[in-house]
Homo-oligomer: A and B are copies of this chain.
Amino acid sequence: MEKKYVVGIDIGGQTSKIGVVNAEGEILSRVVIRSDVYGEDANAFIAALAEAVKQLIKECGKEGEIKGVGVGAPNGNYYTGEIAKAPNLKWAAKEPVPFAKLLSEGLDGLPVTLTNDANAAAVGEMTYGAARGMKDFIMITLGTGVGSGIVIDGKVVYGHDGFAGELGHTTVHPGGRMCGCGKAGCLEAYCSATGVARTAEEWLTKTDEPSLLRSYEKITAKDVNDCAMQGDQMAIRIFNFTGRLLGESLANFIAFSAPEAIVLFGGLARNKNFLTEPILRAMNANVLPRWKDKVKLVYTELKESDAAILGASALAWD
């Protein structure tokens, strides 16, 4: 019997999302399981995941009709099928976990393909979202951190070791703010949700300027957005600053791969009213004349969880 369905899995630090997907990219059935209750025990997590996948396939009556499983996970390596040094996944924070192999064994030999979460989202966007029909684009995920998935000539860029596309850790401010990775001045230290909150805290400490932001105890990027919506000048300037640094970085990425579009994705990308203009201004001021006003800036057209599940599932067709 021809196998007409695939499974897509999006592994996150707190939860993992599983979906059964048909050839049209519709998620027929889905389930969410916890990823954070297994401590450092990778085997226990993978066993629970395999069980949940089997259960879901059974519930939607597609047993024997699944072609394969695609997985997007932080630090997932497409070449080796391993997850390693993923700070947000306790069970894969240190030594490499042969994830694809173990999950395949737990699923009675179903083929499992792994990639990182940002790459999976990029494939999802290319297949079903804002990058449909594009062969060259760069997807930037603006969440707790800054991730990226780079597509060149219709293919995700993996590089020599499978870890290409770490654009969150390019330097946007030499000698600047320390990043969680141990380097100074990374894009992620400024243009992630945490980066926006850090900017707010720094600016509030440095000046006496009145701002609605002073009423929060622990500021989040969402608080900055709420204040900006109410016309708070400092909050608006924080987005201007964030957008400018992101735009300057995007200009460098454009010089690298001359994409048709930049696709923004993730929680922080929801603040597009405040970010779009400063991003475009800085981006176009820092590219060669041939790219000025030529490269599109678009926002995801998929729900965040859908993009990752769909993108991961698309890997399973090949």
Listed in ascending order, the chain A residues whose CB lies under 8 Å from chain B are 85, 135-136, 150, 152-153, 155, 157-167, 169-171, 173-174, 181-183, 248, 251-253, 255-260, 285-286, 288-291, 294
Contact yes or no, B171 A252, CB < 8 A:
yes
Please report the C-alpha to C-alpha distance between residue A183 and residue B284 in the assembled complex, in whole angstroms.
Answer: 11
Task: Say whether, besides A152-B152, A157-B152, A169 and B288 are in contact (CB < 8 Å).
Answer: yes
Contact yes or no, B258 A167, CB < 8 A:
no
Chain B nearest CB from A88 CB (Å) reads: 15
Q: What's the number of copies of this chain in the assembled complex?
A: 2
Of all chain B residues, the one with the shortest Cβ separation from A251 is B171
Contact yes or no, B152 A255, CB < 8 A:
no
Chain B nearest CB from A140 CB (Å) reads: 12
Please report the C-alpha to C-alpha distance between residue A162 and residue B150 in the assembled complex, in whole angstroms.
Answer: 17
Of all chain B residues, the one with the shortest Cβ separation from A159 is B258
Contact yes or no, A248 B166, CB < 8 A:
no
Shortest 8 CB-CB distances between A and B: which pairs? Answer: A159-B258, A164-B258, A160-B260, A170-B252, A136-B160, A166-B255, A170-B255, A164-B257
Contact partners of A290 in chain B: CB under 8 A: 85, 161, 163
Please report the C-alpha to C-alpha distance between residue A181 and residue B181 in the assembled complex, in whole angstroms.
Answer: 34
Please report the C-alpha to C-alpha distance between residue A33 and residue B29 in the assembled complex, in whole angstroms.
Answer: 68
Contact partners of A152 in chain B: CB under 8 A: 152, 157, 159, 164
Chain B nearest CB from A169 CB (Å) reads: 5
Contact yes or no, A173 B174, CB < 8 A:
yes
Beyond A166-B255, A166-B258: 5 further Cβ-contacts under 8 Å? A85-B290, A136-B160, A165-B255, A170-B256, A174-B174
Please report the C-alpha to C-alpha distance between residue A135 and residue B174 in the assembled complex, in whole angstroms.
Answer: 30
Contact partners of A259 in chain B: CB under 8 A: 159-160
